[in-house]
Structure 1
Amino acid sequence: MRSPIVIGTGLLVSLIFNAQVLAQSTVQLPQLTAQNSSQQIFNKNTKKLRSGIITLQRTACFGACPIYTITIFPDGRVVYEGERFVKVVGKRTAKISPQAVRRLVAEFDKVNYFSLPSNYQGGPTDLPSAITSLTLGRQQKTVNHYLGSPNAPQALTALENKIDAVVNSQRWIGSKNEQTPNPNDSNSTQLKVNRQLWNQQRLTNYRFTFSRSCFCVPKATQPVVITVRNGQVASITPVNNNEPVDAELFRQYNSIPKLFGIIDDAIAKKASSLTVKYDPKFGYPTQINIDYNQQVADEELYLTISNLEPLK
């Protein structure tokens, strides 16, 4: 009877001992908070800073906001690429010290960059975004910060501005007076001048040949002769055959004032590309090429107007 008592006591002692060890090991485990996670990434890669790359991209807005990208390499190389509304368009390179790069990385550390949300959105819809990224070793993080967002921390905005300041991006961006003019400003001026020239002709009776190139039905791209009487479309006839024309397909383009309206609309929508040629005598547009959005396929529009003839 004594042997089972000894065995039971030993088992109990063993269980108590193991429970104490388990409790101690549990207490000593670090808490894996988001802040610790970010800190671990920076600590782990401190000695691998040569693999670190910093980028800052500033995007378009509903206005003349500078559009450019800055890339900073660990050895201090800086690559600037200006797109629009900047003093310098194209690529430029510069150099800062490796120590300056390390100080910038320390700024990322201060804001716990790897723990930040990847997107800050919301707020007014007419502002640009600042997109930052940091690569340390095998760890890479990108934060898309819409500048109208009410949720973004001020420290993130300060970090973005710090990157600009360290590389002296102002030398490429320039002041407002030095930035490249908005192409739409030139188009607006040309439109105003030529529309005025057309109005001076006081033409209400005329005909012209019209053709359109677009991603649309074939009947909409056939060349036609449009006749206008008293400012209203009188007839639309095909150039190459005698088949009836679907007038609805040409409703937007069946007079010179409406074609001026197409240009107006492209300017208002801030089309990615707008090229217009005008007749030097009458002022009407002879060629209208529009790419509304370079990121979208098959929405381009090419209009050709020729052989305008005043009628009695």
Structure 2
Amino acid sequence: MRSPIVIGTGLLVSLIFNAQILAQSTVQLPQLTAQNSPQQIFNKNTKKLHSGIITLQRTACFGACPIYKITIFPDGRVVYEGERFVKVVGKRTAKISPQAVRRLVAEFDKVNYFSLPSNYQGGPTDLPSAITSLTLGRQQKTVNHYLGSPNAPQALTALENKIDAVVNSQRWIGSKNEQTPNPNDSNSTQLKVNRQLWNQQRLTNYRFTFSRSCFCVPKATQPVVITVRNGQVASITPVNNNEPVDAELFRQYNSIPKLFGIIDDAIAKKASSLTVKYDPKFGYPTQINIDYNQQVADEELYLSISNLEPLK
């Protein structure tokens, strides 16, 4: 029979030995220090902002909407590029704080920007678009927001307006009274919008009534019905009589694309006066009034287009 003293000594030796093994094998848990606090972890994630770029572009509309682009760099540099219907046309630079850039990026995060659809379309026509983009490291996202779209979230519109506000774009865009567009700019914009609307119809078979007023031979001013098949003129017939029509007199005007070309030419020649009305449904011009040079008599041209009818 062993003595109690011997047993106690053996147990003590065993406990010491096991404690040493446990001390060597136990995983050391880190302590929460200032170097890995939640704030520091957040700051590490925001280092990607050093490669981040924000852009906002506002496009043309049917009318005098400001057309410009803003680019914001991570260090706070701002580049403005004004195109039309703005107080300042051309490039300007400015500076905001890097903290302001980070706050803007946070606004993108609030709307879950990288999860948004890339396009918002539909709704009433003739409105502009706001195109935003955000680049963070290798992540890049662009959202094209047509402002008539019924599907776009209000938070996206608020984000677009926030970008304008942070960089104070109003100093370049100006008020309505300060936005003094060149008439040719307005005509160019309207031409672009309506030509696009016409092209969307994909009409190659149609007829329309055409007449013109000019200082020219009477046969050139008679109202006619022009029929187009497969994009080519098929017939030109008079409206008021059965006399044959000299097709050569209407060669410049015998299709809708050619009428768009007349407007294009007047803009390129910087006509003294150009007034155009367009059909709101199909986009074709219904009235074209041109005075190429106010100092020259009898070179005015007035074209009327009506009763356009798609054909099968």
The alpha-carbon distance between structure 1 residues 287 and 48, as it changes in their structure 2 partners (threshold 3 A), is same
- Aligned partners of 1:7, 1:272: CA distance in 2, in Å? 118
- Aligned partners of 1:23, 1:43: CA distance in 2, in Å? 35
Aligned pairs, number: 312
- Aligned partners of 2:299, 2:173: CA distance in 1, in Å? 31
- Aligned partners of 1:310, 1:226: CA distance in 2, in Å? 12
- Aligned partners of 1:263, 1:122: CA distance in 2, in Å? 28
- Aligned partners of 1:278, 1:300: CA distance in 2, in Å? 20
| More moved, 56-65 vs 243-252 | 243-252
Aligned counterparts, 1:1-312, within 5 A:
45-184=45-184, 247-248=247-248, 250-252=250-252, 262-263=262-263
Cα distance, 1:184 vs. partner? 3.9
TM-score normalised to the size of structure 1?
Answer: 0.51
- Aligned partners of 2:140, 2:66: CA distance in 1, in Å? 26
8 Å Cα contact 2:100/2:166 also seen in 1:
yes
Cα deviation digits, residues 153-173 of structure 1 (max 9, x gap):
111000000000000000000
SS in structure 1 opposite 2:149?
Answer: coil
8 Å Cα contact 1:65/1:85 also seen in 2:
yes
The alpha-carbon distance between structure 1 residues 130 and 280, as it changes in their structure 2 partners (threshold 3 A), is closer
SS in structure 2 opposite 1:64?
Answer: coil
Q: Which has the larger radius of gyration?
A: 2
Alpha-carbon RMSD across the aligned residues, in angstroms, is 14.6
8 Å Cα contact 1:273/1:290 also seen in 2:
yes
Cα deviation digits, residues 133-160 of structure 1 (max 9, x gap):
0000000000011111111111100000
Q: Which runs of 5+ in 1 are unaligned?
A: none
Cα deviation digits, residues 182-235 of structure 1 (max 9, x gap):
424898999999999999999999999999999999999999999999999999
Q: Which runs of 5+ in 2 are unaligned?
A: none
- Aligned partners of 1:138, 1:12: CA distance in 2, in Å? 61
8 Å Cα contact 2:53/2:72 also seen in 1:
yes
| More moved, 198-207 vs 143-152 | 198-207
The alpha-carbon distance between structure 1 residues 301 and 152, as it changes in their structure 2 partners (threshold 3 A), is farther
The alpha-carbon distance between structure 1 residues 21 and 244, as it changes in their structure 2 partners (threshold 3 A), is farther
TM-score normalised to the size of structure 2?
Answer: 0.51
8 Å Cα contact 2:63/2:190 also seen in 1:
no
Cα deviation digits, residues 92-147 of structure 1 (max 9, x gap):
00000001000000100111110111111110011100000000000000001111
| More moved, 228-237 vs 267-276 | 228-237
- Aligned partners of 1:106, 1:118: CA distance in 2, in Å? 19
Structure 1 segments of 4+ aligned residues over 3 angstroms from their partners: 1-45, 184-312
| More moved, 77-86 vs 262-271 | 262-271
SS in structure 2 opposite 1:34?
Answer: coil
- Aligned partners of 1:175, 1:310: CA distance in 2, in Å? 43
- Aligned partners of 2:37, 2:171: CA distance in 1, in Å? 37
| More moved, 172-181 vs 16-25 | 16-25
- Aligned partners of 1:87, 1:215: CA distance in 2, in Å? 40
SS in structure 2 opposite 1:180?
Answer: coil
The alpha-carbon distance between structure 1 residues 293 and 225, as it changes in their structure 2 partners (threshold 3 A), is same
Cα distance, 1:46 vs. partner? 1.6
The alpha-carbon distance between structure 1 residues 256 and 296, as it changes in their structure 2 partners (threshold 3 A), is same
8 Å Cα contact 2:55/2:132 also seen in 1:
yes
Cα distance, 1:240 vs. partner? 34
Cα distance, 1:181 vs. partner? 1.7
- Aligned partners of 1:148, 1:283: CA distance in 2, in Å? 18
Using the aligned pairs only, state the percent identity.
98
